[in-house]
Structure formats: C-alpha cells, structure tokens
Structure 1
C-alpha cells in the first residue's frame, strides 16, 4: 500500500479526531456527547460510531456507521465494541477502554482480521475518543474504524497488532496497559445541571422514547376495561 493510498484510507479518522480536538475546552476538557453534530463529520459517518461505558472494561455501541455493520453482517447498535475483536485480544481492548474512560486518553489500534474460508487479508485502524455525558461523567465515546482489503465472508473479527495512547491536549504518549493490569474503578459521576440539548440532527442521532402514563386503576363498580394492543417500535 502506497503512502498516498494510506493517507486517503485514514482520512475519516483524521477528520473525526480534528473535529473532536476543536471541541476540547481551553484546559483540555473532554467534549460532551451532546456537542457532537454529525453534519460536521458527514464524510466520515460511514466509519464512525458512538459508544457508552457499561462496565469498567466494556463499552456498548449505541450508533454505528454502515461500514461496521458490513464488517459484522448485522446491525452493531446495542452490541459490545469487543464483538469486533478476536476473543483472545478482548482483554487487551478492555484495558485500553478502561484507560479511555478513567483518564480521558486518545486510543489508536492497528488491527489485522482473522483469515479463513471466504475471508482474505484485511487490516484496519480504529480510533477511540472519550466524551462526557450531560451529567459530566466520562462514560461516552466517539470512534471510527477503517479497513483495507475485501470484507468477504462475515463476520470479520480482528486481532490487535498494536495499541497507542495519548493525552488529549499535550499529545504525550502513554504506555498501553498489559492485559492482566487491574482496571481503574469506574469514576463517580459528577452531577451538573443538564445542558439544554440541541436539535438532534440525523446520522449519529439517537431516538428518544416517549413517556406514557400509567393506566387508570379499576374500581369495583365498573366493568373491566377492554384490552388494547399497544405496539411500540421504539428501542
């Protein structure tokens, strides 16, 4: 792969990271999830995803670009991020995810896909960037995954060839934790007044679930109400 081709392939990662860095506060404060506007990374949305911390070493994909879905042969929304990684390397990913949420580090991974019948050579690069929820706790992320090669038969899972970590503002390299390193405990949420959410744009926007009140209580003097079938297509 030529240098020019590599630069072109990694362009979505650079666009997302540049946008994220522009959102950093003057003192390097991690951006809020609600600050992410998909219209500003439109050319990279195919490769982007949003994640949420669900355990000290585990993140769940909330919204996924079409490229991730193509790699797995299914909709990645609601799936653990580790689904993309070979089982033997998931602990290594978990240690990096723990550092991302506890220390707000920028994580870069170089990946090589497992090969087999209908699964040719495929390499990839993943970028993970921390975000804060509207309550102020660092429990969200935005990331991207680009690959080089033919996807072939799905699902495609990847081995981790290398991991690098950097502080968000200074760009100082941080040693990657060993797979056996004990993860940092989950940070205690910092409760702050919720920011007024902006209008949800399309792309990486997440749908809201409408509120429905409780049904009226039955009385002895009234006949039982007729049953009604309520169909909800909300997640």
Structure 2
C-alpha cells in the first residue's frame, strides 16, 4: 500500500490515506487476472496441471473477452487457439492462429519466448507487466498478461490459459508492447509437510508400474561387494590346493570315473 499526504481536514485525510494497488492509472481493475488464476487453481488435483478439456467457458463468463488459449508449436513459440474480443481490438485484427510474440516489440520477443519455454518445461505460472511505446500524441499504455499452463489430450504441457488486461486502445490501431517485468512461479512448489510424506526413490518398489508411458523396471539381485568376490577366490584356490595334495587314484577308480563321466562326441578322421 501507498500512503497519501495529509491534505485538508483530518477526516478527509483518513479516507484518502490508502491507495489501491490493483488498478491501473485509468482505473482498470486487475480482478480478471485473479479470477482466472482462482478458476485454474480450483481445477487442479494436488500439484497436477489441469487439462485443457477441463476449461469450461461458463466458468470464465465474466472475462471471456479478455481470455485466450495458446498452443506450443515450437521451442519458444506459441500461437493463439482462441482469443477474446479485447485482444482482437488491441491487435487491430483477428489474432487466432497468430503467434503470441506478434503482440510484442522485436526487443521483447526474446523475453517472451524464454518465459514460454520456462512455463511449459517447468511448468510455471507467468505474469508479465507490459507497456506500449509512448508517442507525441499518445502516452504509454500499461497492460498485464497472465498465462497458466495446461495439459493437452496427450498429457504433455503444451497449452496455456491466458488473460490480458490493458488500459484500452485509444488509437484503434495495432499495439505492440515492451516487457517491463516478468514473474515466474513454479506450479509444483511442494511444502515441507509434503516433502516428508513423499516416498523417496529408494523406497519405491522397482516392479511397480511407472507413471506415464514408462515400462515396468526389472528387479535386480543383490550386488556383490569386493569382499565377497575375494572370499570366493580364496575358497576356489584352497579347493585347488586340497585336490593337488590328495594321492593319485587307483586304476580301478580311474576307470570308474571315466564311466561316470558324461558322454561326449568324438571326431573320427578317415583318410581312405
């Protein structure tokens, strides 16, 4: 909160002491951003990212004109799948099918591309503070953009629900924005209590089915230590020495041992 100066009577100063921080200079409220984030959070199950199929337009009825959905088509590039009327007015044309970076100046596109990659890969919530370039006839216009990651029907995080809030487009022409600041918030931020209850990798059975499309892991036996290998070699050498110390066997025993041997093949060569 910002505290205003003490002007006028004491009663008036008490009323004007607090200035709301959730509004732009023109009085546009940031409540659409908070409403969209609350709706997105309500669709989550634990720390999971919601699916694109869970988004119902009726849940965002009050802010549909400021809402959009983007799809990741390449690293750092996402295009509009759906867009509200307010976004079309800011762009001066239909934005569906266009890349998201078309809203930004060339210098800001690298920042937006990096934020998109972070949002899809981490995944994270992205909130951008934007401004237009001021001209002689029109001052700089402020705007905010919020993007919330979503899963596609295939299970990968390649969609995002977004909300765009601006002060309007007095020029009625295409607007391009610079990025003033970028806020990234990881989606799967586990609390200390969740870390205690989460089983470690060493306690999970190796024969359990892995999540996603991973195959079941094979169960390995106990790994032998160096001391076990040394003991095995010592026993083997001791057995060889004991066999060498024993007296030679009698001919009868040798013949019996030959008879007890396993049958084998004999190669016969004839030169006739």
Asked if these proteins are the same fold (TM beyond 0.5), I'd say yes
Of the three residues 14, 36, 44, the one matched with 2:34 is 14
Structure 1 residue 6, shift from structure 2 partner: 0.8
SS in structure 2 of the partner of residue 139 of structure 1: strand
Of the three residues 36, 44, 50, the one matched with 2:55 is 36
Of the three residues 87, 95, 105, the one matched with 1:68 is 87
Maintained 8 Å contact 1:120/1:152: no
Maintained 8 Å contact 1:9/1:148: no
SS in structure 1 of the partner of residue 111 of structure 2: helix
Name the TM-score, length of structure 1 as normaliser.
0.68
Name the TM-score, length of structure 2 as normaliser.
0.59
Unaligned runs of 5+ in 1: 173-189, 193-235
Structure 1 residue 167, shift from structure 2 partner: 1.5
Structure 1 residue 5, shift from structure 2 partner: 6.3
Maintained 8 Å contact 2:90/2:168: no
Structure 1 residue 68, shift from structure 2 partner: 0.5
- Aligned 1:79-228 pairs, distance under 5 A: 79-116=98-135, 119-170=138-189
Structure 1 residue 171, shift from structure 2 partner: 8.9
Maintained 8 Å contact 1:52/1:139: yes
RMSD, aligned α-carbons: 2.4
Maintained 8 Å contact 1:107/1:166: yes
Unaligned runs of 5+ in 2: 1-18, 192-211, 215-272
- In the alignment, the residues of structure 1 paired with residue 213 and residue 36 of structure 2 have an alpha-carbon distance, to the nearest angstrom, of 28
- In the alignment, the residues of structure 1 paired with residue 161 and residue 94 of structure 2 have an alpha-carbon distance, to the nearest angstrom, of 17
- In the alignment, the residues of structure 2 paired with residue 90 and residue 123 of structure 1 have an alpha-carbon distance, to the nearest angstrom, of 17
- In the alignment, the residues of structure 2 paired with residue 151 and residue 5 of structure 1 have an alpha-carbon distance, to the nearest angstrom, of 22
- In the alignment, the residues of structure 2 paired with residue 46 and residue 191 of structure 1 have an alpha-carbon distance, to the nearest angstrom, of 38
Aligned length, in residue pairs: 174
SS in structure 2 of the partner of residue 39 of structure 1: helix
Structure 1 residue 49, shift from structure 2 partner: 0.1
- In the alignment, the residues of structure 2 paired with residue 114 and residue 191 of structure 1 have an alpha-carbon distance, to the nearest angstrom, of 48
Higher-helix-fraction structure: 2
Task: State the partner residue of 1:54.
Answer: 73
- In the alignment, the residues of structure 2 paired with residue 118 and residue 136 of structure 1 have an alpha-carbon distance, to the nearest angstrom, of 48
Maintained 8 Å contact 2:147/2:161: yes
Task: State the partner residue of 2:96.
Answer: 77
**How has the CA–CA distance of structure 1 residues 75 and 153 changed in structure 2, closer, same or farther, with 3 Å as cutoff?**
same
Structure 1 residue 116, shift from structure 2 partner: 2.9
SS in structure 2 of the partner of residue 93 of structure 1: helix
- In the alignment, the residues of structure 2 paired with residue 11 and residue 168 of structure 1 have an alpha-carbon distance, to the nearest angstrom, of 21
